[in-house]
Structure 1
Amino acid sequence: MSKQIQVHASLFLVALIYAANFSVAKEVMPEYIGPFGLIMIRVVSAALFFGILSKLLVKEKIVGWSDNMRSVLCGLTGIAINQLCFFGGLNLTAPINAALLMIVGPVAVVVFSAILLKERVGWRKVTGIGVACLGAFLLINNSASSSTTGHWLGDLLIILNAISYGIYLVLVKPLMLKYKAITIVSRIFAVGAVVVIPFGYQQLQTPDYTSFPTFVWLALLFMVLAVTFLTYLLNAWALKFASPSLVGIYMYLQPLLAIFIAVGFGKDVFTLEKGLYALLIFAGVYLVSRARQNSIVKV
C-alpha cells in the first residue's frame, strides 16, 4: 500500500470515528451516564495514557513560567471547557446540529488569530465569517422551534465548544513549535482532568454499572480507545505527510459522515432547512480557509 493511500485511509478513519461519536455518545447520554461523567471517564483515561506515554518515550519537561501558564490555558480551552461544552451540548441537541456547528471551528481560529496574534484578516475572510455565522444563527434559531430535533441551548454550547477549541489552537501553536507533541498533549490532558473531575465525579457515582447492557460498555470503549487514543495516534502519524489543507478537507467530511450515520441509525432527521443552513456554514468556512494546496507532503 502506497504512502498516499495510507495517509488518506488514516485521515478518513479519523473523520469516520469522530462522525460516529456524535451518535454513539447520544446512545449513552443521559439514560446510562451523564455527560460530565462521560467526560471524566474519557479525559482521565487520556491523561493517564498520554502521561505514561510521555514519561516512557519522551521524558521532556515544559520549562519557564510563560510556557507553563500557556500550557494551563491550553488545558482549560482545549480540553476542559471544550469537552464540557461539547458533551453538555450534545446531550441537549441533535447529532446533526452538533456536527454542523462544530465546523465553525476554523472561523473561530481566524478570529482569535487576528485578536491574539495580530494576523491580517482580508475581505474574503470577513465575508466568510459573516456567512458562516449567519448559517449557525439560522440553525440555532431553527432549533428554538419545538418541531425540530435540535435544542437552542445545546447548539449554543456546541458553538462555545468550537470557540474554545479555536482559542486553544491559537494558544498551542507556539508550544508545538518548541516542544514535542506528546509533551504538550500529556500536559493539557492532565490540566483538563483536574478541572473536569469536580464536574463529573457525582455523575460517575450515580449509575448502576452492573445493569449496563453490552452495547453501553462497547460505546464507552469506543469513546476512550477510538475517539481519544486511536484518533490522536493516526492524526499524529498522518500530519507528518499531509498538508494542513488536506487535513481540513477531511475535517469538513466529518459532518457529512455524521449526518449519514445519524440518519442511518434513526438518531436524527435531516431536513431541507438544515441542508440550507449547512450550505451557508460550509460556504463561509470555505471562504475563510481557501487558498491552500490540498496535497500530500512528499517525504
Structure 2
Amino acid sequence: MNSRTLALIAVSIATVIYGVNYTIAKEVMPIYVKPFGFILIRVVGATSIFWILGLFVKAQKIEKSDYKKILLASFFGVGLNMLSFFKGLSLTTPISASVMMVTSPIMVLIFSSILIRKAIGKQRILGVVIGLVGTVLLIAYGSSSNTSATNSNWGNFLVFVNAASYGLYLVISKNLIEKYHPIVLVKWLYLFGLIFTVPFGYRELAEVHWQEMPTTIYWNIGFVVVFTSCLTYLFNLYGLSKLKPTTVSVFIYLQPVIATIYALIVGSDSLSLIKIGATLLIFTGVYLVTKQVQDSAK
C-alpha cells in the first residue's frame, strides 16, 4: 500500500470521526455535562496529550514576537471556536451544526480579503453570497421539532460563529504553521486555549455528577478528547504531508453527509425541506469559492 493510499485512508478516517462527533458530543450535552464544562474537559485532555507528544519532538524555541500571534490564534482557534461550537451544538441538532461548519472556506476567503488584501473574483463573490443566503436561511428557519434542540436558531448562529472563528484562525495561523513543527505549535495553542476556557468552564465542570453518569457517556467524552481533538489532527497532518491541500479540503463536504447518515440511523435528528434547501445553497457557495481557487492554482 503506497503512501498516497494511506494518506487518503487517514483523511477519510478523520472525516468519519468528525461526522459522528456531532451526535456523540450531543449525547453528552447538556444532560450530563454542560457545554462549557465539556470544552474544559476536552481542552485539558488535548493539552495534556499534545504536551506529552511534545516530549518526543525536537525542541523548537518560539520567537518572542510570535507569542502574541499564537495567543490570538489560540483565542479564535481554541477558545471562541470551541466554546461557541459546543454551546451551539447543545442547542441545535447534529445535522444543522454539521452543515453550518461547511461555511468555513467562505469565511476564510472573506477574512483573507480583509486582512491580507486577497483579491476576490466575480465567481467567488457569487459563491459567498449564495453560501451566506443558505446560512441565513438555516439560522432563521432551520428550527427543529427534535426535543434535543432547545433553541435551534441561536444554536445555529453560534455554530456559524464557530465556523467564522475557525476561518479567522486559519488566516492568522498560516505563517505560524509554516514556521513551527505542528506538535510544537498545537501544544502552545491548546495551553493558551486552556487559559481562555477555564473561566467559562470551571463552574459547569464542578456541577458534573460523575457517579451518576452512565458508562456510555464516559466513552463519549473519551472519544471527543482522544479521537476528535487529537487523532483527527494527526491524521489530517499526515494527509497534508502526502496530498495536495485541495484534495484534503474536499473531504469537508463529506462531514455533513456522514453526520446526517449517522444522526438519522441513531434517531438523533431529522430532515426538513429548509435544511435540505439551505444545505444545497451552502454547498453551492462553497463549491464556487473553492473551485476558482483550484482553477487558479493549475
Question: Which TM-score band (shorter chain)?
Answer: over 0.9
What is the deviation of 1:207? 1.7
What is the deviation of 1:177? 1.6
- 1-structure distance, mates of 2:146, 2:27: 22
Is this contact kept in 1: 2:124–2:292, CA < 8 A?
no
Deviations 1:69-108 (A, max 9, x none): 1000000000000000000000001111100000000000
Q: State the Cα RMSD in Å.
A: 1.7
Aligned pairs for 1:78-89 within 5 A: 78-89=77-88
Say if 2:261 is the partner of 1:274: no
Aligned pairs for 1:126-137 within 5 A: 126-137=125-136
What is the deviation of 1:224? 0.9
Aligned pairs for 1:102-117 within 5 A: 102-117=101-116
Deviations 1:87-133 (A, max 9, x none): 00000011111000000000000000011111111111110000000
Say if 2:19 is the partner of 1:35: no
List gaps (5 residues or longer) in structure 1.
Answer: 295-299
The change in CA–CA distance for 1:257 and 1:147 in structure 2 (over 3 A counts) is closer
What is the deviation of 1:292? 5.4
What is the deviation of 1:270? 1.2
What is the deviation of 1:182? 1.3
Say if 2:159 is the partner of 1:158: yes
List gaps (5 residues or longer) in structure 2.
Answer: none
Identity of aligned residues (%): 37
Say if 2:25 is the partner of 1:8: no
Aligned pairs for 1:248-263 within 5 A: 248-263=249-264
Equivalent position amino acid for 1:211 in 2: E
What is the deviation of 1:293? 5.5
More off after superposition, 280-289 vs 201-210: 201-210
Residue 183 of structure 1 is matched in structure 2 by: 184
TM-score for the superposition, normalised by structure 1: 0.94
Residue 97 of structure 1 is matched in structure 2 by: 96
Is this contact kept in 1: 2:108–2:170, CA < 8 A?
yes
Aligned pairs for 1:198-209 within 5 A: 198-209=199-210
- 2-structure distance, mates of 1:51, 1:58: 12
Is this contact kept in 2: 1:243–1:293, CA < 8 A?
no
- 1-structure distance, mates of 2:25, 2:145: 23
Equivalent position amino acid for 2:85 in 1: F
- 2-structure distance, mates of 1:119, 1:251: 23
TM-score for the superposition, normalised by structure 2: 0.94
Residue 297 of structure 1 is matched in structure 2 by: none
Residue 26 of structure 1 is matched in structure 2 by: 26
- 2-structure distance, mates of 1:284, 1:131: 5
- 2-structure distance, mates of 1:241, 1:144: 41
Deviations 1:117-157 (A, max 9, x none): 11111111110000000001111111358689561100110
Is this contact kept in 1: 2:93–2:144, CA < 8 A?
no
- 2-structure distance, mates of 1:245, 1:252: 12
Equivalent position amino acid for 1:256 in 2: V
What is the deviation of 1:6? 1.3
The change in CA–CA distance for 1:116 and 1:293 in structure 2 (over 3 A counts) is closer
